[in-house]
Structure 1
Amino acid sequence: MTSYLPALLTTLLSLAPISVTAKIYKWTDENGQVHFSDKKIESVEQEVIKPRNHTSSWSRYDISVKTIDTNLSKQELNKIVADVNLVYEFYDRVLFFDFYKTVPVKILILKDEKAYYDYLRKQTGREPSRSYGKYLYKGNQIVVYIQKDRARTFRTIKHEVSHAITDTVTPYAQSWLNEGLAEQMETLSKVEGQLRITSHWENYKWVNPPLRHEKLMEIGTFIRLPNTKWRHEQRNGSAPLQAQAGQFIYFLLSKPTGKSFVIRLMHKLERGNRTHSYYLVDKDYIGGIKGLEIDWRNWLRGKIDKHITF
């Protein structure tokens, strides 16, 4: 059975437009944190942001869901809708992304693991690496399958939606940044109106036990790893590399200076800056690469926050 659900999702995922008559102010505090508000504050230097007046045919994203030989319950469909909204809200509220172009996403849900790998072989022409889901840049398609743990299927969709956003809006982002952010989206939730990410237990298992600390790739080497090398490592099933990316981004987002750095880095990439992230880190992170390495190692040796609220 094949099922298409684009019209319903497009309706449910529509966002209310920002009033073009309201003034929006932007400023950066002493900690490097970027703020947005509709109120003028005389004590700080603010920049007036003029929202783009898009035509009614423009939307932040164009998303549809297709299932083959499997069915989704109404509750599961509603969860996909809510989860996708959360991912976009994170990029909007936490990373301050300006969605200046539509992010088209087509979600394909297959019945099982065999159907999933058969489909990837057909689409890519090669033997796929081990995975729970895949974002295919060509065609803006997210491919997943119904896992025995069905909840993991929906966490995987959130992961791949993050890739769709990053690849569309910041196509020059390096794999460690792209993958690290996607790992956070798997645990993203909303609690009492606030966005929350939770420590990813699988990444923690691979990275945080003390005996593993000294085996981790040094951060300077890690962030200089070319995307081609990263993809090669992933095809060889290098779970520690992906786990380190996830824990590294979790570490950055847990600290005001780290979060501010991630925001600055993503915005430079959004504007088309092709400078290698290694040099952006050395310039924009307090203490440069050496300072970042020290902070990372100290964080690994300390008590890891169970969750981070934004």
Structure 2
Amino acid sequence: MRDCFYIYGHAMVCWFGRSLMGACLRAMQWLVLGFACVSSPMVAQAGIYKWVDAQGKVHFSDSKPVREIRDIEDFSDKYDFGRDFDVKVVVQKGVLAVDVKNRIIIVVKKIRSILQKDFQVDLSDFNSLTLVLYKDRDSVTALFNQGRKTSGDRNIPAFYRSSDNTAHVWQNRNPERMLEVISHEVTHALMRHRYQRIPTWLSEGLAEYFEQMKLSGQAIKIPISAYQIKKVKQKFDSGSFIELEQLTMLPQTVFYAKQGQGEPMYGWSGALVFYLLASEQNRAVFRRLLIHLKDPSRSDTLAKDVFETHYPGGMAQLSADFYRWLDREKFAHYY
């Protein structure tokens, strides 16, 4: 009897084990199928709609309802901000964590979205970008200097090449720092695509602005750079600060020469851009500045002309307001 019970019990255990394994496999199949559906291009390209049915019940769906309903709200553009923009990330050597890759793609698409929707920069024809990541910094520098008559800068973490629409970036071991560098270079790429000539302070200031961008759920948080503002305030407190009119008219070569000599030109430019985006009144002036960028012949005196005409009190008042603002608490911007 013991032997019979053992055999019977063993058979029951085997049957139960096979049944449990089969159930697990079926569950995994459904899970994989469900994941495939969620990840499919069809769903990724779907919209996001809020609507109210005849009984007054609120619904959310990924397709626009076809039957007669009321109060349709289309949230597609707000939440699916990159449907018309393809971002590819290529790793030359080594591997890149999936979550880091996804964050890179989100950050790049968000920058383009903010430039288009908040700053009214037309980027409708900029539909793709390839980011190439390199394991060592020397590879990026060598590629940057390729074909140049001089060795150039020996410390290049990233650059954008318009000839093939690629951004080449050093894959820093610190993912946060790598994201900052990518944000900086992508801003340059997007702005240079739209405008033939951009004042250097504006080009670098806007790139510095987006370099500080942090993901916060669906929102984007942009604080001011604590490092840069500290350097700027030190210069200001010592009395050796640059006049805004001079900053906005500096030629590119002089701007970078001063930066190389220890002047926080990136800091001054980033702080000015941050101030111009700190209130709706200032943002209106900033948008006006971008509108006038379409005329490349005026780039040298563009900022001064716009500030004199559109900032209340002109350039002198802007300078006074900006320097007072340096001593105030600076709140992060959200998009």
TM above 0.5: yes
Alpha-carbon distance in 1 for matches of 2:239, 2:272: 15
Alpha-carbon distance in 2 for matches of 1:120, 1:201: 29
State, as a whole percentage, how many aligned pairs show the same letter: 20
Matched, 1:268 2:292: yes
Alpha-carbon spacing, 1:74–1:216, altered in 2? closer, same or farther (3 Å): same
The structure 2 residue matched to 1:175, chosen from 185, 196, 200, is: 200
* Deviation for aligned residue 1:225: 0.6
The structure 1 residue matched to 2:243, chosen from 218, 233, 236, is: 218
Alignment map for 1:200-211 (pairs within 5 Å): 200-209=225-234
Q: TM-score, normalised by structure 2?
A: 0.68
Q: Between 161-170 and 182-191, report the one with greater CA deviation.
A: 182-191
- Per-residue Cα deviation, 1:192-220 (whole angstroms, up to 9, x for no partner): 64432112122122112476462221001
Q: Between 212-221 and 172-181, report the one with greater CA deviation.
A: 212-221
On the 8 A contact 1:204/1:243 being kept in 2, the answer is yes
* Deviation for aligned residue 1:152: 0.5
Counterpart in the other structure of 1:148: 173
- Per-residue Cα deviation, 1:99-154 (whole angstroms, up to 9, x for no partner): 24225533121111222222222254432154432223443331211223232011
On the 8 A contact 1:64/1:107 being kept in 2, the answer is yes
- Per-residue Cα deviation, 1:230-263 (whole angstroms, up to 9, x for no partner): 34445x3656001111111111111222211111
- Higher alpha-carbon Rg: 2
Number of residue-to-residue matches in the alignment = 256
SS for the counterpart of 1:178 is helix
Alpha-carbon distance in 2 for matches of 1:16, 1:128: 45
- Per-residue Cα deviation, 1:3-29 (whole angstroms, up to 9, x for no partner): xxxxxxxx79x9779xxxxxxxxxxxx
SS for the counterpart of 1:301 is coil
Matched to 1:288, the amino acid is G
On the 8 A contact 1:213/1:300 being kept in 2, the answer is no
* Deviation for aligned residue 1:292: 0.9
- Per-residue Cα deviation, 1:5-56 (whole angstroms, up to 9, x for no partner): xxxxxx79x9779xxxxxxxxxxxxxxxxxxxxxxxxxxxxxxxxxxxxxxx
Counterpart in the other structure of 1:257: 281
Alignment map for 1:53-132 (pairs within 5 Å): 61-102=85-126, 104-122=128-146, 124-125=148-149, 126-128=151-153, 130-132=155-157
Q: TM-score, normalised by structure 1?
A: 0.73
Q: Between 149-158 and 200-209, report the one with greater CA deviation.
A: 200-209
SS for the counterpart of 1:120 is helix
Alpha-carbon distance in 1 for matches of 2:94, 2:254: 36
* Deviation for aligned residue 1:264: 1.2
Q: Between 179-188 and 125-134, report the one with greater CA deviation.
A: 125-134
On the 8 A contact 1:162/1:181 being kept in 2, the answer is yes
On the 8 A contact 1:130/1:237 being kept in 2, the answer is no
On the 8 A contact 1:68/1:111 being kept in 2, the answer is yes
Higher relative contact order (CA 8 A, sep 6+): 1
Alpha-carbon spacing, 1:130–1:202, altered in 2? closer, same or farther (3 Å): farther
Q: What is the root-mean-square deviation of aligned Cα atoms in Å?
A: 2.8
The structure 2 residue matched to 1:288, chosen from 314, 324, 328, is: 314
Alignment map for 1:155-194 (pairs within 5 Å): 155-191=180-216, 193-194=218-219
> Which stretches in structure 1 are left out of the alignment for 5+ residues?
1-10, 18-58
On the 8 A contact 2:285/2:311 being kept in 1, the answer is yes
Matched to 1:253, the amino acid is L
Counterpart in the other structure of 1:3: none
